[in-house]
Amino acid sequence: MDRMDRINQQMKRELGTILQQDLSDPRLQFVSITAVNVSRDLRSAKVYFSVLGEPHQESIIHEILDKAGGFIRKLISQRLNLRNTPAFSFYYDKSIAFSDQLEETLKEIHDEEDTSNDQEE
Pairing of strands 31-38, 44-51: antiparallel
Is the pTM higher than 0.85?
no
**pLDDT score recorded for residue 7:** 93
Q: For the chain, which residues score pLDDT lower than 70?
A: 1, 54-55, 96-100, 116-121
The count of structural domains within the chain is 1
Supply the DSSP string of 23-90, one letter for each residue. Answer: ---GGGGGEEEEEEEE-TTSSEEEEEEEESS-TTHHHHHHHHHHHHHHHHHHHHHHHS--SSPPEEEE
Q: pLDDT tens across 88-111, in order?
A: 999 998 876 666 677 778 787 877
Domain span holding position 57: 3-120
Question: CATH code at 47?
Answer: 3.30.300.20
